[in-house]
Amino acid sequence: MLLSRFVPATTLIWIISLFAILLLSPLLSASDCVPIHEANQHVGETKCVTGKVLRVKLGTKGVHFLDFCEDQMACPFTVVVFPSDLKDVGDVRRLEGRTIEIHGAVKLYDARAEIILSRISQLTGGAALIPPLPKNYDVENRGHYSAGRLRPTKKPAKTKAKPQTTATYGNDVEGEEPRQ
C-alpha cells in the first residue's frame, strides 16, 4: 500500500502487467513440439513434431517424403505429402535444409511414426512461408516440369450420321396406298 501512495493505480497496473509479460513470454513462446525421436511415443495423438529436413524425396506416383535422417530406413519419423495435397501445401522441395514444426495426427506406418502433410497451416514458423507450386509442375511426371502435350483420345469421336436426301417421310412412300 505504500507504493500506491506514490504511483497512480493505472501506472501500477501497467508496470505489473509489463513485468508479467516479460517474465512469462519465454514460457508462452516455447513450443510444445517434440523432437522426431520422441514421435513414436505419441502415436494416435495430434501433436507437433520438430526436426531438420535433410532431403525431400520423390516417391512413386508423385508422393513426396520429408526425410529427417541420413538413413531413411532407420529414421523414426517421416512426413508424407500426397500429390493431391501439393496444391494446398506448396513447393515442399523448398523445405530441404530447414528445421520445421509440423502439426498433425501422428500415425504408425511400417513401424515408423509419420504425419501426413495436407495443408500449409500444419507448418509453423518460417517453414510456413514456402511458395506455391509452379503452374507447370507436373506431379504425375515424377516432378519434372512440363506444359503437357496433347494426346489423341483412345476412342474416336462419335460423328452424327448425315440425313439422306432420298429418305421419305410419313405416307409419301411410292407404290403404297395409305393405310386406313
| CB within 8 Å of 63: residues ≥ 6 apart | 80, 81, 82, 83
Q: Which amino acid is at 160?
A: K
Asked whether 136 and 149 are in contact (CB, 8 A), the reply is no
Least confidently predicted of 74-78, 81-85, 157-161: 157-161
Residue whose entry in the numeric block shows the C-alpha cell 500506491: 4
Model pTM score: 0.58
Residue 159 pLDDT grade (very low, low, confident, very high; cuts 50, 70, 90): confident
Closest CA to 79 of 94, 68, 90: 68
> In the chain, where are the structural domains located?
28-129
The H or E element spanning position 33 is none
Contact 118, 103 (CB under 8 A): no
Task: For residue 24, name the pLDDT band (cuts at 50, 70, 90).
Answer: very low
Q: Between residues 107 and 129, which one has the greater pLDDT? A: 107
Give the CATH number of domain 28-129; options: 2.70.70.10, 3.40.50.300, 2.40.50.140, 3.40.50.80.
2.40.50.140
